[in-house]
Amino acid sequence: MSKITFLGAGSTVFAKNVLGDCMLTPALQGFELALYDIDLERLKDSENMLNNLKATTGSTCRIKSYTDRKEALRGAKYIVNAIQVGGYDPCTITDFEVPKKYGLRQTIGDTVGIGGIFRNLRTIPVMLDFARDIQEVCPDALFLNYTNPMAVLTNVMNTYGGVRTVGLCHSVQACVPHLFKSLGMDPSGVQWKIAGINHMAWLLEVTKDGVDLYPEIKRRAREKQKEKHDDMVRFELMFRFGYYVTESSEHNAEYHPYFIKKQYPELIEKYNIPLDEYPRRCVKQIEDWKRMRESLVNNVNLQHQRSNEYASYIFEAIETDVPFKIGGNVMNTGLITNLPKEACVEVPCLVDASGVTPTYVGDLPPQLAALNRTNINTQLLTIEAAITRKKEHIYHAAMLDPHTSAELSIDDIVALCDDLIEAHGDWLPKFH
């Protein structure tokens, strides 16, 4: 029996989407859906939910929970990763509250920036533990990573874990539909090309019947920008750098040095930037889960419609050899020629029976490559810190982060890193 293993299966809502999709996919019938999570209560919740779904969908997939990670992985053909190390309390709270003491504010803190750096440092050791198990019990498995920070973790699994890994993010799928909806444009029949790095990939081309739609997009965006809305940072970046970026304005506000600034507090209001957005979302998610748990976990009439998550479509394309196109995070094997070869990039990929094949992009417009490199610098030095366990590389990563370095002095950056290392305690490995 073929096997799909879900690491972090206690993410019940996400497990419903990904594994519910698999249950509705003809080519995946008969697969074992192996569930693993360190939170046994949440694991049981997901198992109950999926068994209810199995009954209502008539799927022949077999649901099985594991408390032994290696056994959950043994013989897996596909692995889905959706873990979060340290959770909201204590780790996300630490990522936000300690930098605030230095006057450093964040919105999401899960990709780059000081929050992203420390999220990586506590997650990478766990991912490398996964990699060791995979090498032993399912070395040929395809690993789909949904966990942030996407670029760094996908890079580490490929480069140091020796695991065939593709990173998947919703921002590529959502980019054009979201933009067109916000501007009152019809996305049907529109062709687009997106490439760059995760959370900072660029809408390089957007056409309909061969006509470039960018002039109309920019015209409508300039009108919309005259009033408050929730995408003001991305529009500003598009006006200044020429292209729209995939990930939301609240994310991009902290990837660049232009928007969250102590010296210019009026920018927060001007660009409608939601400081501390991620902690708010976490609290809401926890409250929402309490309310929806019963209707999701013990609902014997639970229904599911196939979502637009890439995972089941990737598995289906490999199983059936019917090609499917995705936006994937992969190593830069000459794909984007003016970004470092050590970087993980986000590019169009073709999926079929031979696996996931990334496509060649060539040079990005120089200003876009330059913006990507500012984030890649921090990503690569974070990896260096995680692999060598040298504290100096944590400092380097933070000193090169665009937002952190625009706000704090070198001494304060080092002191902040030391404070965060101490505050995280055993959630981090020991650095020297």
Same domain flag for 96 and 84: no
Same domain, 206 and 194: yes
Say whether both 206 and 343 belong to one domain: yes
Q: What is the pLDDT along the chain (432 residues), one digit of tens a residue?
A: 699 999 999 999 999 999 999 999 999 999 999 999 999 999 999 999 999 999 999 999 999 999 999 999 999 999 999 999 999 999 999 999 999 999 999 999 999 999 999 999 999 999 999 999 999 999 999 999 999 999 999 999 999 999 999 999 999 999 999 999 999 999 999 999 999 999 999 999 999 999 999 999 999 999 999 999 999 999 999 999 999 999 999 999 999 999 999 999 999 999 999 999 999 999 999 999 999 998 899 999 999 999 999 999 999 999 999 999 999 999 999 999 999 999 999 999 999 999 999 999 999 999 999 999 999 999 999 999 999 999 999 999 999 999 999 999 999 999 999 999 999 999 999 999
Asked if residue 169 belongs to a known ligand binding site, the reply is: yes
Quote the domain boundaries for residue 80. 1-90+108-166
Domain CATH for 227: 3.90.110.10
- Written as one string, the DSSP assignment of 286-323 is HHHHHHHHHHHHS-TT------S-HHHHHHHHHHH---
Are 117 and 259 contained in the same domain? no
Q: Is 199 annotated as a binding-site member?
A: yes
User: Of 170, 229, 251, 432, which one is the catalytic site residue?
Assistant: 170
Are 144 and 32 in the same domain? Answer: yes
Domain final position from 147, 166, 185: 166
The helix (H) or strand (E) run that includes residue 346 is: strand 344-352
Half-sphere exposure at residue 207, Cβ-oriented, CA atoms within 13 angstroms: 7
349 annotated binding-site participant: no
Report the number of distinct structural domains present in the chain.
2
CATH number of the domain that 28 lies in? Answer: 3.40.50.720
In three-state secondary structure terms, 265 is coil
Torsion of CA 92, 94, 96, 100, to 10 degrees: 170
Residue with tokens 């690569």: 380
State yes or no: is 170 an active-site residue: yes
Location of structure tokens 């944590």 = 394
Owner of token pair 């060598």: 388
**Residue 88 DSSP symbol:** I
pLDDT the model gives residue 1? 67
Give the pLDDT confidence score for residue 209 in this predicted structure.
Answer: 97
Gap between the Cα atoms of 328 and 346, Å rounded = 5
Whether residues 243 and 339 share a domain: the answer is yes
Tell me if residue 201 falls in helix, strand or coil. strand
**C-alpha distance across the termini of the chain, in Å:** 46
CA dihedral 309, 314, 317, 318 (to 10 degrees): -160
Query: Does residue 257 have a cis peptide bond before it, meaning omega lies within 30 degrees of 0?
Result: no
Helix (H) or strand (E) holding 345: strand 344-352
Query: How much is the pLDDT for 323?
Result: 98
Q: Are residues 127 and 231 in the same domain?
A: no
Same domain, 246 and 395: yes
Residue 102 shares a structural domain with residue 73:
no
Give the position of tokens 């990563």: 397
- Token pair 């366990």: residue: 389
Q: Are residues 80 and 216 in the same domain?
A: no
- Kindly state whether residues 157 and 258 are assigned to the same domain: no
Q: What's at 266, amino acid-wise?
A: E
Domain end, chosen from 166, 182, 201, is at 166
Closest CA to 296 of 37, 14, 49: 49
Tell me, what's the pLDDT at 336?
A: 99
pLDDT at 256: 98
- Rounded CA-CA distance 142/78 in Å is 5
User: Tens digits of per-residue pLDDT, 4-14?
Assistant: 999 999 999 99
Distance CA 325, CA 331 (A): 17
For 135-200, the DSSP string reads HHH-TTPEEEE-PSSHHHHHHHHHHTS--EEEE--HHHHHHHHHHHHHHT---TTEEEEEEEETTE
Same domain for 299 and 214: yes
Q: What are the structure tokens assigned to 374, written together?
A: 């500012």
What DSSP element (H or E) covers 284? Answer: helix 277-297
